[in-house]
Structure 1
Amino acid sequence: MALTETVKLQDSQIPGKRPLDLLIEFFTRLNTESIRYCHWKSTCRLSKGLAGNTDLDLLFDRTQSRQLHQLLARLDFKPFISPPHRQFPTVEDYLGLDRDSGRLAHLHVYYRLVLGEQFVKNYSLPVADCFLSNTRLVDGVRIPIPELELIVFVLRCLLKYRDRDLLRDLLKQGPTGLPPRALAELGYLQGQTDENEIARVLNYFPFLSPDLVFAFLDQVRSNPRAGATLYALRKRTRKDLAPYQRYSRLQARAKYYRVLFARSPLLSSALRGVSTGKKKIPGTGGLSIAFIGSDGTGKSTVTRAMVKWLSWRVEARVFYMGNTSPSPVNRLVRNVRRVSVRLEGLFAGSIFARCSRFCECLRYIADGFDRYRQYEKGRKWAAGGGIALFDRYPLPQVKVTGRPMDGPRIGCLNTGKAGRIQRVLARIEESLYRRIEAPENLVVLTATPEVCIARKPGHRISTIKAKSEAVGSIETDGMRVIRIDAEKPAEETLLNVKTALWELL
């Protein structure tokens, strides 16, 4: 049976969320270049996927994989690597940037139908060609006929039915074992077909017990919380699909609990600052990107927006290199410094002045330690495959009023002749900053002093002018430097930064 049908889903439009131009072009080329494919599951959420709000699960003919990869490259889709517990045979991940909206599109590329319980996906069914040969066109995207999708959806529901779901259903406590979302999707698929059509298409699944699918549908219709019946149907499903499993039941269970432990909050807390493998990493590896600019250029705003944009699917994190979020030790040093300044004001004498100056030096060293610690965390994050975004960065060549911006301070103190202790402290501070290597990639946000002053009216005008001039004249010194005009409207600036970052990936 080969079927090609063009239909339009009633829910194919989301208010305010039109399909991404990137995906429209992608599917148009798939269709015109006769690449066999279909969006094989959760087609009820197809419109959300086209708008970039969720993933697209696409099944392809593996004999056309080279043609597919060439198309993905032409449209600047980039391969990403899923964490180990989300890596499955014959499944690839791609992200693409819609350059008009700045939204990301996420493609799961399948060459076989892989399904099963969470974290394991233990079954690889031999029905890919059946899906590819029986499609219809919906909103420009090929999807399988509803009978095929419904049969596989029943299998997915039963394989995902956990022991804890059985207990909840038996005790009638907590949420149902079959989630409301799954029941809604089941109703959506049933509304497009009938039992005769389902029975006919079941001929393509000779490995299934003849009544398995209908037994499930009847039970859900009468009582979707019949735990004992659903458990028995799950057992039958596993038996029918045993020839197509990748692991034994014992191995599959061990893998499930191993991943569950690795994702636990306790372990995540212990590995804070290190990529925990919950999201994807670029196929080309991790990287670090520093954002610098004068006050008023929106460094922190842009950096936060970029990490929010990327972390939808990618391991991305901000590492703040300024001094307005001090560590506990740094806060203690600053409090001691404030006390010393007050004592200096209350009591005359050089000893209080020296004490105040000493505490000031300690504060700058504490700032240096904080920055170095953030640098180390970011370096390890990038080495682990994540994307490290540095908000501010100490660069020796960017100097304001004679001293490096966000750099060493003690050696620039105007305290007359520096004593031996101050010189020692200055060397300690400078050694910290020397250990901070230049960033791989540098995003420079530029704006005229007049614009920066208008955005930051409470700041010192001379300082803003000096910073603006210093940042504007920065030399590359072997770094990959990207200059972004921060005077443009916020949306345009963010889109330009996204486009630039996408090129780095």
Structure 2
Amino acid sequence: MICSSPPGSPGARSTQNGTLEILDRLFKALNASDISYCQWKSNFALERVLSGEKDDVDLLVDRRSLSQVITILLGLGYKPAIVKSEPQPPNVFHYYGFDQQIDHLVHLHLYGAVYTGESFINSHLLPFDVMLLASGRTIDGVKVPSKAAELVCFTLKVFVKYGSLLDLIYLLRETHEIEAEARWLLADNDLSEALRLVEKYCPVIEEQLFVKCVSTLSAPTSLVKRLRVAWQVRRRLKIYSRYSRLQRLSAYIRLFWGHGRRRLAGNKKSKLLHSGGAIVAFVGPEASGKSTLVWECSHWLGSVFTVKTVHAGKPPASWLTAPAKHLLPLLRHFLPHFRTTRLESRAFPANAT
């Protein structure tokens, strides 16, 4: 099980500003250690992130401080996880903490570099880590980038996603949310600072193209126009792509292959605890609710991790064992001498009396 603190301890409560205690303790430790970090994504919904309503916390850290941050996470009870059979970039880590007060798993996505773009394969390594970390401001004790810096990263990231069919399906469902976030990032922002940052950190994107990106993203626009702009952005960001065309195809093949294997095995998720996980046994008399407990536990943990359930008693028949189960009565009738009780009585006649 994933535990951030012993049951009944104060480590699972929310603070007065609504931040989960497990996250509040983390950010206080990072601030006290003077570590260069920021929550670099989705600060439009920062309140939901800190309260646990939105599961992922995306933490960008100066690579030189990664080992120190990992030490802090482990000390606070976070558990490292690995992603099985999916393409994973270096300097990206997954940690989970458990809020016992509300039975909530907190996913901390730890980055040592800005891997972004296509969601399923993190297709691009963008040169924005220094920009995001240097422009930091503090909200509710959490360091976040300036709106201008986040606007640059958000805008280019979204248009890279428009070039992926899988991401496009998601983007079409979330169009209104994306437009709302773009407008929020533009509020109190005359775009001049964002343009300065683009010129400094990503000069392959011309000023005119970036302005077109922002205007296209922040207002209702036809899909064709957005796809056209996305094509221009992806062409210019090609030098930051982690994959050639063949490598990208290979990454998606591995992704689908791993997904197919998990589905066949009955697992929806691909994450495993780095320690290998644990065996949780439910033991009790007949009709005591063991099956319900197993289902509830596997359903809860299976929403995040790879989980396998095993019936250690007399399991129900499956398609593989059903034929043998139905043949047993016939075998007992026609071959009674091979029943285990008969064999034992022959081998140990004294015990039979």
Q: Contact 2:298/2:309 (CA < 8 Å) preserved in 1?
A: yes
Q: Contact 1:79/1:95 (CA < 8 Å) preserved in 2?
A: yes
Cα separation, 1, equivalents of 2:23 and 2:164: 39
Q: How far did residue 165 of structure 1 move?
A: 8.5
Cα separation, 1, equivalents of 2:324 and 2:50: 53
Cα separation, 1, equivalents of 2:218 and 2:44: 20
Aligned pair partner of 1:256 in 229, 252, 256: 252
Partner of 2:10: none
Q: How far did residue 72 of structure 1 move?
A: 1.0
Partner of 2:350: none
Cα separation, 2, equivalents of 1:322 and 1:223: 59
Partner of 2:43: 43
Aligned pair partner of 2:221 in 213, 224, 228: 224
- 1:420-459 paired onto structure 2 within 5 Å: 420-423=337-340
Aligned pair partner of 1:189 in 172, 185, 188: 185
Partner of 2:291: 300
Q: Contact 2:182/2:217 (CA < 8 Å) preserved in 1?
A: no
Partner of 1:116: 117
Partner of 2:104: 103
With over 3 angstroms needed to count, the CA separation of the structure-2 counterparts of 1:159 and 1:272, relative to structure 1, is same
With over 3 angstroms needed to count, the CA separation of the structure-2 counterparts of 1:286 and 1:112, relative to structure 1, is same
Q: How far did residue 182 of structure 1 move?
A: 2.2
RMSD: 3.5
Aligned pair partner of 1:236 in 212, 215, 232: 232
Amino acid at match of 2:117: G
SS in 1 for 2:96: strand
1:158 and 2:149 aligned: no
Q: Contact 1:44/1:188 (CA < 8 Å) preserved in 2?
A: yes
1:208 and 2:205 aligned: yes
Q: Contact 1:18/1:51 (CA < 8 Å) preserved in 2?
A: yes
Amino acid at match of 1:182: I
Cα separation, 1, equivalents of 2:229 and 2:241: 17
Cα separation, 2, equivalents of 1:30 and 1:425: 71
Q: Contact 1:279/1:314 (CA < 8 Å) preserved in 2?
A: yes
Cα separation, 1, equivalents of 2:18 and 2:298: 24
Q: How far did residue 334 of structure 1 move?
A: 7.8
With over 3 angstroms needed to count, the CA separation of the structure-2 counterparts of 1:252 and 1:426, relative to structure 1, is farther
Structure 1 unaligned regions, length at least 5: 1-13, 169-173, 338-354, 363-418, 428-505
With over 3 angstroms needed to count, the CA separation of the structure-2 counterparts of 1:74 and 1:167, relative to structure 1, is closer
Cα separation, 2, equivalents of 1:334 and 1:194: 74
Partner of 1:387: none
SS in 2 for 1:107: strand
SS in 1 for 2:28: helix
With over 3 angstroms needed to count, the CA separation of the structure-2 counterparts of 1:108 and 1:220, relative to structure 1, is closer
- 1:6-17 paired onto structure 2 within 5 Å: none
Q: How far did residue 218 of structure 1 move?
A: 2.1
Cα separation, 2, equivalents of 1:334 and 1:358: 12
Cα separation, 1, equivalents of 2:321 and 2:115: 52
Q: Deviations over 1:174-206 (max 9, x none)?
A: 984873332232233223523233334334333
Amino acid at match of 1:219: T
Bigger CA radius of gyration = 1
Amino acid at match of 2:237: L
- 1:458-473 paired onto structure 2 within 5 Å: none
Partner of 2:70: 69
- 1:482-501 paired onto structure 2 within 5 Å: none
Structure 2 unaligned regions, length at least 5: 1-13, 345-353
- With 122-131 and 141-150 compared, the bigger mean Cα shift is at 122-131
1:94 and 2:95 aligned: yes
With over 3 angstroms needed to count, the CA separation of the structure-2 counterparts of 1:104 and 1:292, relative to structure 1, is same
Q: How far did residue 149 of structure 1 move?
A: 0.9
- 1:123-138 paired onto structure 2 within 5 Å: 123-138=124-139
Aligned pair partner of 1:312 in 295, 303, 308: 303
Q: How far did residue 314 of structure 1 move?
A: 0.9
Q: How far did residue 252 of structure 1 move?
A: 1.7
- With 94-103 and 154-163 compared, the bigger mean Cα shift is at 94-103
SS in 2 for 1:289: coil
Cα separation, 2, equivalents of 1:257 and 1:127: 29
Q: Contact 1:178/1:224 (CA < 8 Å) preserved in 2?
A: no
Cα separation, 1, equivalents of 2:343 and 2:158: 65
Cα separation, 2, equivalents of 1:425 and 1:320: 29
Cα separation, 2, equivalents of 1:422 and 1:183: 72
Partner of 1:436: none
Q: Contact 2:58/2:108 (CA < 8 Å) preserved in 1?
A: yes
Q: Contact 1:39/1:141 (CA < 8 Å) preserved in 2?
A: yes
Cα separation, 1, equivalents of 2:296 and 2:262: 24
Cα separation, 2, equivalents of 1:327 and 1:426: 29
With over 3 angstroms needed to count, the CA separation of the structure-2 counterparts of 1:424 and 1:203, relative to structure 1, is same
Q: Contact 1:52/1:103 (CA < 8 Å) preserved in 2?
A: yes
* TM-score, reference length from structure 2: 0.78
With over 3 angstroms needed to count, the CA separation of the structure-2 counterparts of 1:357 and 1:119, relative to structure 1, is closer
Partner of 2:265: 272
- 1:273-352 paired onto structure 2 within 5 Å: 278-295=269-286, 298-323=289-314, 325-327=316-318
Cα separation, 2, equivalents of 1:162 and 1:426: 70
Cα separation, 1, equivalents of 2:90 and 2:315: 47
Cα separation, 2, equivalents of 1:175 and 1:121: 16
Q: Contact 1:92/1:109 (CA < 8 Å) preserved in 2?
A: yes
Q: Deviations over 1:41-70 (max 9, x none)?
A: 111232333233411110001111222122
Cα separation, 2, equivalents of 1:121 and 1:200: 26
Q: Contact 2:86/2:254 (CA < 8 Å) preserved in 1?
A: no
With over 3 angstroms needed to count, the CA separation of the structure-2 counterparts of 1:79 and 1:195, relative to structure 1, is same
Q: Deviations over 1:205-232 (max 9, x none)?
A: 33322222210122345652241x3333
Partner of 1:480: none
With over 3 angstroms needed to count, the CA separation of the structure-2 counterparts of 1:28 and 1:164, relative to structure 1, is closer
Q: Deviations over 1:224-281 (max 9, x none)?
A: 2241x333322322232223222223322342244235435xx555x335x67x4211
SS in 2 for 1:58: strand
Partner of 1:477: none
Q: Contact 1:130/1:204 (CA < 8 Å) preserved in 2?
A: no
SS in 2 for 1:305: helix
Q: How far did residue 292 of structure 1 move?
A: 0.7
